[in-house]
Amino acid sequence: MNDFDSRWARLVAAARGAPAPADVAAPYGFAVRVAARAWADDRPTLQGLFGRFALRALWVACLLMLASVAVDYFYLRTGSQDEYATESLYDPVSEVLNSSS
């Protein structure tokens, strides 16, 4: 590697000796164009809106889910679970079968 290192070092040392390019000013109209585009690109995009509202929507969905679980749990605890078992349902099919036999 030493041989290469010395060659590379000589080459980059020579390259560093090249005069540095002078500072150049922005071409005419460049700054105006860039500034105008910067603000133009500031309009909300679909992706931007999604990114903005997705997290809030997630929080709202979580709250709704918790609320629905809580309500359901409360409903089950208050004994309403027997509602369907105790309620006598009208069964038209058995009515027809009974009347025909």
Q: How far is the CB of 11 from another protein (least distance, A)?
A: 5
Tokens of 55: 């997290």
Nearer to another protein, 45 or 81 (CB): 45
Give whichever of 26 and 64 is closer to another protein, judged by the CB atom: 26
Query: DSSP secondary-structure letter at 91?
Result: -
Give the angle 43-47-52 at the CA atoms, nearest 5°.
Answer: 80
**Residue 22 Cβ, how far from another protein at the closest point, in Å?**
9
Angstrom distance (rounded) from CA 37 to CA 75: 58
Considering the complex, state which of residue 38 and residue 55 has its C-beta at the smaller distance from another protein: 38
Give the 3-state secondary structure of residue 33.
helix
| Residue that the structure tokens 């000796």 belong to | 17
Q: Which residues lie near another protein (CB under 8 A)? A: 1, 4-19, 21, 23-27, 30-39, 41
Task: For the CB of residue 34, give the shortest distance to another protein in the complex, in Å.
Answer: 5
SS3 27: coil
